Amino acid sequence: MAVVDGMVTGPQKCAIDGCTTDVVNLRGGVFCATHLAQYGHMYHIQNCQNLNVDGTHACREHQHLWARHIANHSRQTYAGARRAINRPAENLPWQTATVPFRQAHDEHALEGERSNYFTASHYYCVETICAPYGVVTAWTKFDKSESPTKILEFLEKVYPTEESKPAYICIDKACLVLRTAVANGSWDRVWKSTTCFIKWCNPAPKDGSAPNLVVVAYDNCGNPYYKRAFNTQACEQLNTWLGGFDSIIRRMKPSNFDWFLHAMMFYHTRYVIEKQASRDLPPQVQQEEQEEDEDEETEEQPNIDMAAQVVHGDIE
């Protein structure tokens, strides 16, 4: 089984539609080197061919749009200060509550067009494929939307041969992905003989045709009950952990973003493998390793306290 999910985040890229090249200047720049040479001195408004007014990114006709942008993004304004001091997605009692748009799992993703190029664009999301026990198999960036066509193309690249394809792919958009695969012919050509697309909410049919998705377990009173044999939310758990770094990675250029995220995925995978290996050890060995870890933390604590005292000037 493979678990697939996406996290809405991504690095900055060129503001021109279809261009995924790094922005030349991450502190206020919006274009890559090629488009900066072409459009840097000209319009930053869609379908406007006029030259920019000196010191602005808009022509004389569209100065009101540039003024509105400055008012909403300047650090000297309330809106700019709010972004600087607030936690991500925080709404204080006196602020108007904002409801973020959430794309329904079984609806086609919308790809909106920009009206101006005052700010750099971002990749829409990061799509990950995990094993049910949490090991990351592959990941990629999606531009503009998490469409089922992009998901199918990503899966075909990760699983190019019939032998490599998993028996089940668990994804929230399973119905939409299956419908798209049938429509474009990839279901009969690629997936029909090897793979089933399922959602985490209905992992197994009740007719017993897929008994390996559900197993019988027993509660503390010895009563049998059915439970999922696999963790079908492995990707969501990974994305929750990566979400803590969202404010950092959204300010990176794509090359730095790729390196950072790949390193984090490698760290997460190694941690999961070590955790899984420790569960297979006898209870006595597990207890000994836990005691060793506690002893190491105890030995490191005096060094940490000493460093804190030096920082605060308590030790000369």
Residues 181 and 158 in one domain: yes
The predicted pLDDT at position 26 comes to: 74
The predicted pLDDT at position 153 comes to: 94
**Who contacts 67 (Cβ-Cβ below 8 Å, separation ≥6)?**
none
Helix (H), strand (E), coil (C) string for 51-87: CCCCCCCCCCCCHHHHHHHHHHHCCCCHHHHHHHHCC
Residues 273 and 303 in one domain: no
Does the residue 71 lie in any domain? no
Does the residue 75 lie in any domain? no
Map tokens 């604590």 to a residue. 301
Residues 161 and 251 in one domain: yes
Does the residue 112 lie in any domain? no
Residues 203 and 166 in one domain: yes
Please, is 60 exposed, middle or buried when counting C-beta atoms within 10 Å of its C-beta (0-12, 13-18, 19+)?
A: exposed
Does the residue 195 lie in any domain? yes
Residues 260 and 301 in one domain: no
Residues 192 and 286 in one domain: no
The predicted pLDDT at position 177 comes to: 92
Indicate the pTM of the whole model: 0.70
Residues 212 and 290 in one domain: no
Does the residue 267 lie in any domain? yes
The predicted pLDDT at position 73 comes to: 66
The predicted pLDDT at position 290 comes to: 60
Residues 251 and 155 in one domain: yes
Map tokens 């300047």 to a residue. 74
**Who contacts 119 (Cβ-Cβ below 8 Å, separation ≥6)?**
15, 30, 69, 73
Does the residue 23 lie in any domain? no
Q: Which domain holds residue 173?
A: 125-278
Residues 262 and 287 in one domain: no
Residues 211 and 142 in one domain: yes
Does the residue 108 lie in any domain? no
Residues 268 and 293 in one domain: no
Q: How many CA atoms lie within 13 A of 269 on its CB side?
A: 15
Does the residue 144 lie in any domain? yes
pLDDT per residue of the chain (316 residues) written in tens, 0 to 9: 899 998 888 888 888 887 888 888 777 778 888 888 877 666 677 777 777 777 777 777 777 777 777 776 665 554 545 555 545 555 556 656 555 555 554 455 555 667 777 778 888 899 999 988 888 999 999 988 888 999 999 999 999 999 999 988 999 888 899 999 999 999 999 999 999 898 876 666 667 677 778 778 888 888 988 887 888 888 888 888 888 888 888 888 888 899 999 999 999 888 888 887 877 666 655 566 566 655 555 554 444 344 444 334 444 4
Residues 249 and 289 in one domain: no
CA atoms of 134 and 276, how far apart (whole Å): 10
Structurally, the chain folds into a number of domains equal to 2
The answer to whether the CB of 243 falls within 8 A of the CB of 9 is yes
